[in-house]
Amino acid sequence: MKKLFLAVMVLALSACSSVKTSWDYNPDVNFSQFKTYAWVTSPGDDSQYHLDGLMDERVRTAINNELAAKGLTSTPQANAQLLVNYLTKVDTKVDVDTFTNYYGYNPYYSYYGPNWGWGNPWGPGTASTQTQVREYDVGTLIVDIIDQASGKLIWRGSLSNIIRDKDTPEQRTQFINEAVAQILANFPPKVGS
């Protein structure tokens, strides 16, 4: 029974998933020249800029793993060709649905009622209109890659999704790993993409 409930929940979450991934980059940059990276650090970097400590560690580990798989090496900031950073934001969205329900009929109105009911086999029936307003949060994870020599942003990837609570640390880690893999799927950008 527990497995059935889990399968239904997975299908329900995937059915209403609205994952949106996007990328932007400078097409004039030769991305194959870059071999090293470091995380952006700045004096006075406060904890409000990033997620909480555990989530921050998960995001950084996932990005480090993806960049290593792409052949980049982490190095001290002074020696890095690229600087990497991430940002998060949460937007509240509103979804408004209006629908009309038609129900009921009066068979005596079909042929014996007022003129507007003549010839209608179902009669006038009843209608009601309802409007539902739902608020939900959409979280966005943004990964920035900067050319340290020029100080310019050369690549940005992002993923937006409806925020759902993950129950266990393992589920949170898996979710972050999958999100970062989707974001960095187009880094470095493919020629002509």
Judging by beta carbons within 10 Å of its beta carbon (0-12, 13-18, 19+), is residue 149 exposed, middle or buried?
exposed
What are the Cα distances from residue 164, in Å, to 14, 99, 179? Answer: 12, 27, 13
Residue type, 84: V
Judge contact between 189 and 25, C-beta under 8 A.
yes
Tens-digit pLDDT profile for residues 2-58 = 333 333 333 333 334 567 889 999 999 999 999 999 999 765 554 444 557 888 899
pTM: 0.67
Residues 6+ apart with CB under 8 A from 126: 102, 103, 104
Average pLDDT over residues 135-146: 88
Residue type, 103: Y
Task: Answer yes or no: is pLDDT of 150 > 90.
Answer: yes
- What residues does each domain of the chain span? 14-94+136-186
Q: Which two tokens stand for residue 23?
A: 């990328």
Topology of the domain comprising 14-94+136-186? Double Stranded RNA Binding Domain (3.30.160)
